[in-house]
Structure 1
């Protein structure tokens, strides 16, 4: 099975798999490590009713060509801005990021604050050291190659770790995850990112502390949401986020895993729209 059909942009000589649709205030949707923009497919369709929505496979993920330089948080944030430029989005955008995508959104806002209108951070990296044991093992190279090999069993276990409700672990999702893992550059990109962000002990504190301090100083309207059954990044990180960003709105979804935008799609959309409306960022639904 291949990835779902999508558009394509050529940015800095690289192919970027993306979707650009709708009209209105711009929105950028950013997925997590080893994932694709398909994690935001339902939200893209819903928000594009009255927004200009851009989704993309980050460089080296899914159908997007990898970078020539190492894949790091600043490099991914810069690439995301280049995609906005190529899509003709020059106004400040609502940045919505899940997991690694949340950290990319924060990095983008910190580096280029004129491009950010608000932040929606969904089970986002950056708020604590703890991370699933499987990702920590990737910092150990002998194990990493074994764990990153494209194998149906590994793909299924990865999907099961993401969702609280096993009904979301469909054959189509497992097949798509396997297709992503089979990309020739997938393991290299994953190892570069994991190595830059953490060790076998957990997420490195240096980049986290610098990033959250830089974002807190911006005073951007911020919504942080979490699933209470997240097995990738623990729910106590939501408390940390509230401490780092005391003016942020926070929300906890019950009986929900690492991707509330999928498991609680309707509630997630309503919450985001309400946040944008109250913060003066968009028209209400």
Structure 2
């Protein structure tokens, strides 16, 4: 894929440093990069592609090792995932700074990208992002237990249904199609190995580790990148109390709490999320 004056809806792959990475490219205008959470894929951004591409070039991808993208050559870590993104942006022709939106793990990846490559990031929108607290669902904490973690990730419909329901407050969003996608992702070679490696890189049985969080926030503050942090108040994965922590840690950031919303406001509150994002981006537009 390459940049174009007018982009059409495209889902395909690009080569990035020898890795094949699956991505979607829609719309035209100031570019926006969308980053999914742990064990997820670019499908988590379908609703925002539909809405944001009216005024922006919108890019999403399966992070290395997740979805249908190739794994990194070494162990999968937060730093490694973020390090792959400048090459991805080069491969799709997004040479200038982009607005970066990250959900859950994707928020931490977005912050690491901004901290390490501030010239590539125009603004950050962090949705229910990892990095603001220790607390995390027990389902992720027990992945640290060997070999129990690997056993729990074996593909099965009951497990896929439970995990899909857990990310939404309104379970009508846990559609049969989303459950089938979760099953397909879990069965894809390398996906679960990547999930385990990333989960163990960031946390353990006691929760999300503090050292990397503290270092990341300190690095981000030094970059002074405009940031908006949003949360769903009924998040069962990363509690909404982390939004209060974000307000303390990033006092210059804008914040928004979505009522009666789970871990993925970009899906459950798609219209409100897109309107908020559009206004936030517009204040930092190149035009």
Report the TM-score when normalising by structure 1: 0.95
Equivalents in 2 of 1:24, 1:269: separation in Å?
A: 15
Aligned to 1:57: 62
Task: Indicate which of 198, 216, 225 corresponds to 2:221.
Answer: 216
Q: Which runs of 5+ in 2 are unaligned?
A: 1-9
Equivalents in 2 of 1:72, 1:207: separation in Å?
A: 11
Equivalents in 2 of 1:211, 1:231: separation in Å?
A: 24
Query: Residues 219-258 of structure 1: matches in 2 within 5 Å?
Result: 219-258=224-263
CA contact (8 A) 1:54 1:84 kept: no
1:76 CA displacement: 0.5
CA contact (8 A) 2:166 2:237 kept: yes
Aligned to 2:3: none
The CA deviation string for residues 98-138 of structure 1, in whole angstroms up to 9 with x for no partner, is 00000000000000000010000000000000000000000
Equivalents in 1 of 2:264, 2:285: separation in Å?
A: 23
CA contact (8 A) 1:273 1:282 kept: no
Equivalents in 1 of 2:164, 2:144: separation in Å?
A: 20
SS in 2 for 1:141: coil
Counterpart check, 1:155 vs 2:193: no
Task: Indicate which of 276, 282, 285 corresponds to 1:281.
Answer: 285
Question: Which segment drifts farther, 220-229 or 21-30?
Answer: 21-30
Deviating runs (4+, > 3 A) in structure 1?
none
Q: Which runs of 5+ in 1 are unaligned?
A: none
1:169 CA displacement: 0.7
1:20 CA displacement: 1.6
Equivalents in 2 of 1:239, 1:197: separation in Å?
A: 21
CA contact (8 A) 2:126 2:229 kept: yes
1:282 CA displacement: 6.3
SS in 1 for 2:147: helix
Aligned to 1:122: 127
RMSD of equivalent CA atoms? 1.1
The CA deviation string for residues 224-269 of structure 1, in whole angstroms up to 9 with x for no partner, is 0000000000000000001111111100000000000000000000
1:194 CA displacement: 0.9
Aligned to 1:267: 272
